[in-house]
Amino acid sequence: MCPQSLLVALSLGSAAFASIPHQFPVNDTARETSVRPLDVTNLNADNASSYSNLSSDVEQWNFDEGPPENATGNLVFDTARSLLQHWPNTRYRNGHNIVPGMIPIGTLLYHGTRLDKIPTEPEWVATDPEHSIWFCRGVDGDNWHLTLAATRPLKVLYFDGNSAAKVPEGTMDVQDIIAWGEPKPDLFRSERERIKDLCTWGKKFGIDGFARMEMDFEVMLCDFTAGVKVVSFLNIATFGQDKLPRYPGPQFFRPGFDVGLREFEAMHAGSWHNRYPGDSRIVLDLTGLISMYDTTLAPSLVAVRAGLERQSTTPSGQRYRLEDPY
């Protein structure tokens, strides 16, 4: 995959495919000439108003002929169907799609921190408070929880898959191509550098943030003073730090269980978005979807993807033999 081609496509939108044929070669014929697996009626575009040549335009599709072994058209549709849904993007965690979207006015976003000040540089916000509270990790009461509300539609770019998972096997490939021009699996933990460089790249396009999925959905928010206002900024007691008297009866949970409970609540919140419609607080524009499964856009991935299970493929072309536990 040529990183420059991807960046041009992002900057020009859907018009890029028509306006730059040498970078995004497309088939300019009126119709396909190969045999298809179904019987269809296909009208020639030049004679759409005439039915006189209808019989000559019928293409016979062969039910006995299966799709090519390494076809990806089904994956384009399946990933589009699964956008912003937690479970499909957990199972197939190496995302291949980039989709523009927006966060509507009035949407609440949450940020957990140990610092008692509003962030002055790019930071992460969650769409569910159960997720953000997990990051209130201060000591001696330094646990601050910020709630923001969108004052205008926030322009975001969504990376599908488990795109916030800190692993080197391809979950962050597309982000790295945008931020650095190439995937850098050795920098999978370099989140501070990643968010800064993504926001620098997105500024010229008016992008407010980047939506991703960890155990729940999050937004890499580029500016906490643009398009959002503070609803509350609370010093909260996190699990295990409250001063309320304990129940005097028998204790059913082992010491330290509250830490596991906090993680469970975050994962439970993510499970609310397992299936359609997914996380509805982010509204995607599918007319701007760019897919690395598109063999016209990314022809270099066809050969390296051959013979691999879906969960083992990556947008960078790296080959990982990952077993599907499901």
Question: What residue spans define the domains of the chain?
Answer: 31-66, 75-240+250-312
Of 3.40.50, 1.10.10, 3.30.160, 3.90.175, which CATH number belongs to 75-240+250-312?
A: 3.90.175
Task: Write down the pLDDT at residue 242.
Answer: 52
| Residue carrying the six token digits 């947008």 | 315
Nearest to 26 by CA among 16, 41, 34: 16
Q: Residue 49 is encoded by which pair of tokens?
A: 């108003």
Task: Write down the pLDDT at residue 316.
Answer: 81
Q: Residue 217 is encoded by which pair of tokens?
A: 């959905």
pLDDT in tens, 185-202: 999 999 999 999 999 999
Query: Mean of the pLDDT values across residues 42-62?
Result: 50
Please, which pLDDT band fits residue 217 given cuts at 50, 70 and 90? very high
Task: Write down the pLDDT at residue 245.
Answer: 55
DSSP 90-157: HHS-S--EEEEEEE-TT-EEEEEESSSS--SS-EEEESSHHHHGGG---STT--EEEEEEESSPEEEE
Compare 201 and 56 and report the one with higher pLDDT. Answer: 201
Percent of the chain with pLDDT over 70: 71
Task: Write down the pLDDT at residue 254.
Answer: 53
Compare 264 and 163 and report the one with higher pLDDT. Answer: 163
Task: Write down the pLDDT at residue 320.
Answer: 59
Please, which pLDDT band fits residue 18 given cuts at 50, 70 and 90? very low
Compare 247 and 106 and report the one with higher pLDDT. Answer: 106
Please, which pLDDT band fits residue 22 given cuts at 50, 70 and 90? very low
Q: What are phi and psi of 83, to 5 degrees?
A: -60, 135
Bridge partner list, 291: 97
Task: Write down the pLDDT at residue 313.
Answer: 86
d(CA 10, CA 16): 8
Residues 212 and 164 sit within 8 Å (Cβ to Cβ): yes
Q: What does pTM read for this prediction?
A: 0.76
d(CA 53, CA 20): 34
Q: Has residue 107 got a pLDDT over 90?
A: yes
